[in-house]
């Protein structure tokens, strides 16, 4: 079924805020098996909005519109939607009462702008807003339907997941199935080279690629006579893709690299410590974005050479002889963190994130990282490009991927690994 997205708001057209809603909804719809065939953005102009909405309703079975449901005078979505669907606005007393209760619960009072948000098109189906005060609504014309959601991302996402996704699932007659593989460690061109010829080997399968920061996602999409057949075909092609990509694949579906690292450590009963320099605590931040107290012991940000020596035991001779940005220092940082925190595994990262600090033989973007574990210490390095923040993020994911690989290579539990640690 074809789906169109309509983003409403002059602030989107003027670049004041990014249109993240369309990106998020498009990704969610694709994962559900729908085809997003058009994304449009219009400002808060009554005539333009009416013409665009009318055309999208005629051309698509389902339209999702976001924005313009607020309390201010330039929020015109409800009014325009009523005119396009040949109805009028009327105050919904039940929704007004619901809004009043929500506001009073957080110590706020109902204002005239809130009353405006309770004026809804007659005949619409109200969509509950579990996060904010203003409701959304749905209108239908024959087999064509439009849902209207707030533009605030947190409210939109909650309403989509609780109200729109189940609604769409009832209409899904897709003969398509997809598997999304997450890869790290190689660029898009290398990933594509490894998968060359796969589509020809599996007629009905189409590959898609998406660069996501330092990662590359591979979408294996199969279409067949039925959804069950499509699932079988997609899984067969995905198995072949996994074999070809080998160590580059770290997960699939909704998995993140941090989740995979956490699972790898937990499944082995391992604990982890971190020692960071150029990333300034970003690795620890990523690890603790989800509950991590069962495996993450803690970490240090040893930015200065003195801190590296005092807190991690990095040798002053090593620092003088090789410099803070070196394989030798990265190794000693990881080993020192493992020793200080008493963990099974420890990681380190040290580098030049820029824009200053480069030398003739050590350019901006040069980063060394190490993982110390029961089997030894692994050290890697790379020259990353981009802004300071981009380099820091790339280094963070590089060392996390190194932890993942180290765990995979050990294939040990805590009890058997103790014998290797001496």
Q: Residue 234, class by beta-carbon neighbours within 10 Å (0-12 exposed, 13-18 middle, 19+ buried)?
A: buried
- Angle CA 128–130–135, to nearest 5: 35
Token pair for 167: 């609604």
Alpha-carbon distance of 133 to 118, in angstroms, equals 10
What pLDDT is recorded for position 170? 77
Residue 124 lies in a domain: yes
What pLDDT is recorded for position 190? 96
Q: How many domains does the chain have?
A: 3
Q: Are residues 268 and 410 in the same domain?
A: yes
Q: Which of 384, 422, 377, 382 is nearest to 403 (CA)?
A: 377
Residue 381 lies in a domain: yes
Whichever domain contains 238, its CATH number is: 3.30.70.2860
What pLDDT is recorded for position 34? 82
Q: Are residues 16 and 59 in the same domain?
A: yes
Q: Are residues 219 and 306 in the same domain?
A: no
Residue 422 lies in a domain: no
Identify the domain boundary among 231, 252, 273. Answer: 252
Q: Are residues 286 and 400 in the same domain?
A: yes
- For the stretch 9-15, contacts whose Cβ atoms lie closer than 8 Å and that sit 24 or more positions apart, written own/partner, are 9/41, 9/43, 9/44, 9/67, 9/68, 9/151, 10/43, 10/44, 10/45, 10/74, 12/41, 12/43, 12/67, 13/41, 13/42, 13/43
Q: Are residues 114 and 202 in the same domain?
A: no
What pLDDT is recorded for position 419? 45
Q: Are residues 63 and 128 in the same domain?
A: yes
Whichever domain contains 284, its CATH number is: 3.90.950.20
Residue 388 lies in a domain: yes
Q: Are residues 15 and 161 in the same domain?
A: yes
CB 224 within 8 A of CB 156: no
Phi and psi torsions of 139, nearest 5°: -130, 145
Q: Are residues 274 and 398 in the same domain?
A: yes
pLDDT, one tens digit for every residue, the chain (422 residues) = 679 999 999 999 999 999 999 999 998 888 777 889 999 999 999 999 999 999 999 999 999 999 999 999 999 999 999 999 999 999 999 999 999 998 898 898 888 988 999 999 999 999 999 998 889 999 999 989 999 999 999 999 999 999 999 888 877 666 888 899 999 999 999 999 999 999 999 999 999 998 888 899 999 999 898 889 999 999 999 999 999 999 999 999 889 999 999 999 999 999 999 999 999 999 999 999 999 999 999 999 999 999 999 999 999 999 999 999 999 999 999 999 999 999 999 999 999 999 999 999 999 999 999 999 999 999 999 999 999 999 999 999 999 999 999 998 876 545 445 444 44
What pLDDT is recorded for position 412? 53
Residue 346 lies in a domain: yes
Identify the domain boundary among 151, 169, 187. Answer: 169
> What is the three-class DSSP state of 18?
coil
What pLDDT is recorded for position 418? 47
Residue 248 lies in a domain: yes
Alpha-carbon distance of 138 to 420, in angstroms, equals 62
Residue 181 lies in a domain: yes
Q: Are residues 108 and 83 in the same domain?
A: yes
How many alpha carbons lie under 13 Å from residue 415 in its C-beta half-sphere? 0
Widest pairwise Cα distance in the chain:
81
How would you write 213-272 as a 3-class SS string?
Answer: CCEEEEEEEEECCCHHHHHHHHHHHHHHHHHHHHHHEEEECCCCHHHHHHHHHHHHCCCE
Token pair for 359: 């030398």
Count of beta carbons in the 10 Å neighbourhood of residue 196: 10
Alpha-carbon distance of 311 to 333, in angstroms, equals 9
Identify the domain boundary among 169, 204, 219. Answer: 169
Q: Which of 108, 174, 164, 111 is nearest to 136 (CA)?
A: 164
Token pair for 28: 């969610």
Q: Are residues 29 and 157 in the same domain?
A: yes
Q: Are residues 245 and 286 in the same domain?
A: no
State the residue range of the domain holding 150: 2-169
Residue 217 lies in a domain: yes
How would you classify the pairing of strands 144-149 and 215-223? unpaired
Q: Are residues 148 and 285 in the same domain?
A: no
């Amino acid at each position: 079924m074809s789906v169109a997205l309509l983003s409403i708001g002059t602030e989107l057209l003027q670049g004041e805020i990014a249109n993240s809603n369309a990106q998020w909804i498009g990704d969610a719809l694709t994962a559900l098996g729908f085809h997003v065939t058009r994304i449009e953005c219009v400002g808060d102009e009554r005539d333009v909005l009416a013409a665009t909405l009318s055309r999208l309703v005629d051309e698509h079975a389902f339209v999702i519109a976001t924005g313009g449901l607020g309390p201010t005078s330039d929020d015109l979505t409800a009014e325009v939607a009523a005119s396009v669907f040949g109805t009028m606005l009327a105050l919904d007393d039940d929704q007004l009462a619901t809004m009043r209760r929500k506001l009073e619960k957080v110590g706020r009072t109902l204002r005239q702008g809130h009353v405006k948000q309770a004026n809804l098109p007659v005949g619409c189906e109200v969509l509950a807003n579990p996060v904010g005060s203003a409701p959304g609504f749905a209108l239908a014309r024959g087999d064509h339907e439009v849902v209207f959601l707030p533009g605030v991302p947190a409210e939109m996402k909650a309403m989509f997941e609780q109200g729109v996704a189940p609604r769409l699932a009832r209409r899904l007659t897709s003969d398509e199935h997809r598997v999304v593989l997450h890869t790290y460690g190689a660029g898009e061109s290398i990933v594509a080279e490894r998968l060359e010829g796969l589509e020809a080997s599996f007629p009905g399968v189409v590959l898609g690629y998406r660069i996501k920061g330092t990662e590359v996602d591979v979408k294996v999409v199969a279409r067949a006579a039925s959804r069950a057949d499509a699932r079988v075909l997609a899984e067969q092609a995905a198995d072949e893709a996994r074999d070809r990509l080998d160590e580059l694949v770290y997960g699939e579906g909704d998995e993140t690299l941090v989740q995979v690292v956490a699972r790898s450590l937990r499944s082995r009963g391992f604990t982890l410590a971190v020692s960071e320099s150029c990333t300034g605590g970003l690795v620890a931040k990523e690890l603790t974005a989800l509950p991590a107290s069962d495996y993450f012991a803690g970490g240090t940000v040893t930015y200065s050479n003195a801190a590296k020596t005092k807190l991690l035991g990095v040798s002053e001779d090593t620092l003088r002889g090789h410099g803070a940005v070196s394989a030798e220092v990265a190794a000693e940082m990881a080993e020192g963190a493992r020793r200080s925190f008493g963990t099974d595994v420890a990681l380190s990262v040290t580098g030049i994130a820029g824009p200053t600090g480069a030398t003739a033989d050590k350019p901006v973007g040069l980063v060394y990282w190490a993982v110390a574990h029961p089997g030894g210490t692994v050290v890697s390095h790379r020259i990353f490009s981009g802004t300071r923040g981009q380099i820091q993020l790339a280094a963070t994911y590089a060392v996390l991927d190194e932890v993942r690989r180290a765990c995979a290579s050990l294939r040990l539990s805590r009890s058997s690994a103790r014998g290797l640690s001496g």
